[in-house]
Amino acid sequence: MEISVTLTGNPKTKPADASALGFGKIFTDHMFLMEYNKDEGWHNARIVPYGDLSISPASTVLHYGAEVFEGMKAYRRPDGEIQLFRPRDNFKRMNDSAERLCLPQLDGEFCLEALKKLINIDRDWVPTAEGASLYIRPFLFGNDPFLGVHTVNRCVFCIILSPSGSYYKEGVNPVKIMIETQDVRAVRGGTGYAKCGGNYAASMRAGEKAEQKGYAQVLWLDGVERKYVEEVGSMNVMFKINGTVVTPKLTGSVLPGITRRSCIALLKEWGVPVEERLVSVEELEQAVKNNTLDEAWGCGTAAVVSPIGELCVEDVPYVVNGGKIGPVTQKLYDELTGIQWGKKPDPFGWTETVK
Ligand SMILES: *Cc1c(COP(=O)(O)O)cnc(C)c1O
């Protein structure tokens, strides 16, 4: 499919101070759009000036939450080139998410080509400041203009780009997290493994409660027994217990993170034992009491690796590794950010230059 290009006649001023960018607040000059309907399939692929979308007030997405998305980044290398990190994995996951919500499949290679074309047009928006990157948000939503509850016939796929500052403004500091025992994020058979807006809508209340109590993130438990740890905020979670890294297995209610997958590959490469299995709160409590909970961290595209300094279970605080970042957490952070920003060799072939 041809991708038509309409350039803006009115380019925006790029922010001078990348450290003040924050996250997801400003957008580049252009976006990618295409539409789908059952008769024509995907069509009208185009790069156009960034701007508002016009949709029917009856649009499926507004009433029934038919939406899936991805989150990835473009990184500025020291040599000035721009690269992506495992982008095919994102489009593959987007199709898995779309399948769960009965939204149409996308051609991953075509999406990657469209993304590269878009980034090339907005190249100068990719920040050069330390830890800054161009955040990429592909999303897909159902857009039938009627209220009947039915799988969708019409869809929109869009990619927007947002230059974002470093996640860590004051260095990589461990955060306090609260185990959520009331609300659940996802249940077996639900949409936990899909990256869909609805999961986020359901997670806001617990996030707000944690924030009010002075915690940075919520540690989610499984929706059936409320016994096993699943994720932390919108990141996957890992614990180093007695020398072994344990992480919740992908039971269907856990999002299959690309950072998680990359951490597991690196740990295996380094000869650190890794187990993907159920991890109960009780096991964590015991490990804290026995002094065997060496380290804990969250991992995801936004933060890369986020050390956990304190776990709060029903108002009882448990300090992890003296509230400091541990050596494995630090090594994963250094290695992953090194590969992503092109400062370290990429033996796994995870990165892809945008030319
Ligand atoms: C996106 C996401 C993650 C992290 O996935 P990455 O591919 O590593 O960015 C983890 N949990 C949830 C709920 C997510 O939405």
Candidate of 235, 238, 250, 261 to mutate for ligand 1, largest count of ligand atoms within 8 Å of Cβ: 235
Q: Which atom of ligand 1 is nearest to the CA of 236?
A: 10
Q: What is the DSSP string of 96-115?
A: HHHHHTTPPP--HHHHHHHH
Q: Is the dihedral of CA 197, 48, 26, 77 positive or negative?
A: positive
Candidate of 70, 177, 221, 236 to mutate for ligand 1, largest count of ligand atoms within 8 Å of Cβ: 236
Decide: 89 in ligand 1 pocket, CB within 6 A.
Answer: no
Q: Say if CB 174 and CB 309 are below 8 A apart.
A: yes
Decide: 197 in ligand 1 pocket, CB within 6 A.
Answer: no
Instruction: Tell me which residue of 202, 63, 249 sits closest to 142, measured CA to CA.
Output: 63
Dist. CA 355–CA 353, nearest whole Å: 6
Decide: 195 in ligand 1 pocket, CB within 6 A.
Answer: yes
pLDDT tens for the chain, residues 1 to 355: 999 999 999 999 998 877 778 899 999 999 999 999 999 999 999 999 999 999 999 999 999 999 999 999 999 999 999 999 999 999 999 999 999 999 999 999 999 999 999 999 999 999 999 899 999 999 999 999 999 988 889 999 999 999 999 888 777 899 999 999 999 999 989 999 999 999 999 999 999 999 999 999 999 999 999 999 999 999 999 999 999 999 999 999 999 999 999 999 999 999 999 999 999 999 999 999 999 999 999 999 999 999 999 999 888 999 999 999 999 999 999 999 999 999 999 999 999 999 9
Decide: 306 in ligand 1 pocket, CB within 6 A.
Answer: no
Q: What separation in Å is there between the alpha carbon of 213 and the centre of ligand 1? A: 24
Give the pLDDT of residue 176. 94
Q: The domain at 175-340 falls in which architecture?
A: Alpha-Beta Barrel (3.20)
Instruction: Tell me which residue of 265, 182, 187, 197 sits closest to 223, measured CA to CA.
Output: 187
Q: What separation in Å is there between the alpha carbon of 4 and the centre of ligand 1? A: 31
User: Residue 216 burial by CB count (10 A; 0-12/13-18/19+): exposed, middle or buried?
Assistant: buried
Give the pLDDT of residue 151. 85
Residue nearest to atom 3 of ligand 1 (CA): 235
Question: Is the CATH number of domain 4-164 3.40.50.1110?
Answer: no
- Count of residues making up the chain: 355
Q: Which atom of ligand 1 is nearest to the CA of 302?
A: 9
Q: What separation in Å is there between the alpha carbon of 119 and the centre of ligand 1? A: 22
Q: Which atom of ligand 1 is nearest to the CA of 93?
A: 7
Structure tokens at 59: 């649009």
Residue nearest to atom 12 of ligand 1 (CA): 234
Domain ranges of the chain: 4-164, 175-340
Q: Say if CB 119 and CB 3 are below 8 A apart.
A: no
Decide: 90 in ligand 1 pocket, CB within 6 A.
Answer: no
pTM of the predicted structure, to 2 decimals: 0.97
58 three-state secondary structure: coil
251 three-state secondary structure: coil
Decide: 217 in ligand 1 pocket, CB within 6 A.
Answer: no
Give the pLDDT of residue 107. 98
Same fold, 4-164 and 175-340: no
